[in-house]
Structure 1
Amino acid sequence: MNTNRLSKTIAAALNAQMTKEAHASQIYLSYAAWADKRGFSGIANFLFRHAQEERNHMMKILEYILKRGAEVEVSAIPAPPKNPVSINNCFEKVFEHEVDNTNAVYKLVKMSHDQEDWATWNFMQWFVKEQVEEETLAMNLLDKMKIAGGENMNSNALYLFDKEMEETPDEVILAQEVTAENP
């Protein structure tokens, strides 16, 4: 008896997104090692945590595919892009990668909507919210660096930014959670 509840196109797209999340983990891992090698342990800590978070996203998709009765296809993960040339460039690359991932999530949401696969559409809403959070976090960090001088941040600003990154939470308050009492 066939218990698969995913179309071939949805299953293929979910498997591709699973690989994309694994690739994201590798990117964060690579950038974390790069930052740590340069003495930025706070930034490295932040990036290592995000590498694990991306791997968790991969596992969510893997489990969903299995629970819907489809076949998981583990594919090769592309190598991470070249290392950043600066801390500012590192977070520019992080932001660009998150935007790319958001676009992939949106395509999967649209595909599930078009195919009236409401279970997958509902499952993907968690990723939509997560991507808003990831993009907002990256934008906030880029804003802080811009205020501190961007590419021209001096060593004091870099030191303080590195120390702050060690304690920076992995989540941000999203617009839908804001109230007049809690802006």
Structure 2
Amino acid sequence: MKDLARLRTSIKESVELALNQQIQMEMVSSSKYLAMAGWCDRNGLDHSAGFFYKQSEEERKHGMKIFHYLCDQGAMAFSPEVPAVGQEFDSLRAVFETALEQEIAVTDSINRIIGVCRRESDYATEELMKWYVREQMEEEYIARRCLDLFDQIPADQLYYLDKKVSSVTYEDNVFGE
């Protein structure tokens, strides 16, 4: 006799597992961004702190979007365990370098999930993940542009750099909406 819980969803176990791992990754990202925001706040970098508070909330929403998708499809969504994250950084540049590394890791994970969806012929989940592909293009673009500011603005003008961070948008990019 087939498992009745599996009859409630067309999502294969491998896709469900990958999506639950992505939920955890998004929530860990949210926690890391919150730590970055706190570091910026403690160091008087108000605009950068605001940028990272916003990023933290956005990552949480990304995780919740997948969580709700799994629930709506009759699959199991698990509340992820979020381990402790680092709270200290050597510099504002190090904070943004960490943010870019994190976004690249998320992009790699999204691409892996799409591969799983294709192997399992899960076109609905792949369609959902296309939204994340576009989102990651934006996230990486913004992180790279913020890092570019460090090369354009002298180190002794940290206040100006902090203020400039709040004006970086994806709309500057050819792929912007």
TM-score (norm: length of structure 1): 0.88
**Paired residues of 2:16 and 2:70 also in contact (CA < 8 A):** yes
1:30 deviation in Å?
0.4
1:171 deviation in Å?
4.1
The two structures, once aligned, show a CA RMSD in angstroms of: 1.6
1:164 deviation in Å?
2.4
1:144 deviation in Å?
1.0
Q: Does 1:68 align with 2:66?
A: no
Partners of 1:177 and 1:170 in 2: how far apart?
9
2:13 corresponds in structure 1 to 8
Partners of 2:95 and 2:176 in 1: how far apart?
29
**Paired residues of 1:21 and 1:54 also in contact (CA < 8 A):** yes
Q: Counterpart of 2:79 in 1: which secondary structure? A: coil
1:134 deviation in Å?
0.3
**Paired residues of 1:24 and 1:54 also in contact (CA < 8 A):** yes
Partner amino acid, structure 2, of 1:46: F
| Range 66-75 or range 22-31, more displaced | 66-75
Q: Does 1:130 align with 2:135?
A: yes
1:133 deviation in Å?
0.5
Partners of 1:110 and 1:77 in 2: how far apart?
25
- Which runs of at least 4 in structure 1 moved beyond 4 Å after TM superposition? none
2:63 corresponds in structure 1 to 58
Q: Does 1:34 align with 2:33?
A: no
2:144 corresponds in structure 1 to 139
1:112 corresponds in structure 2 to 117
Partners of 1:130 and 1:175 in 2: how far apart?
14
> Residues 174 and 10 (structure 1 numbering): CA distance in 2 closer, same or farther, change over 3 Å?
farther
> Residues 22 and 176 (structure 1 numbering): CA distance in 2 closer, same or farther, change over 3 Å?
same
Partner amino acid, structure 2, of 1:175: V
Size of the aligned set, in residue pairs, is 172
Partners of 1:177 and 1:87 in 2: how far apart?
26
1:59 deviation in Å?
0.8
Identical columns (%): 29
Partners of 1:74 and 1:134 in 2: how far apart?
24
1:83 corresponds in structure 2 to 88
**Paired residues of 1:46 and 1:168 also in contact (CA < 8 A):** no
Partners of 1:20 and 1:164 in 2: how far apart?
29
Partners of 1:16 and 1:4 in 2: how far apart?
18
Partners of 1:109 and 1:22 in 2: how far apart?
20
Partners of 2:169 and 2:23 in 1: how far apart?
21
Structure 2 runs not aligned, ≥5 long: none
Partner amino acid, structure 2, of 1:159: Y
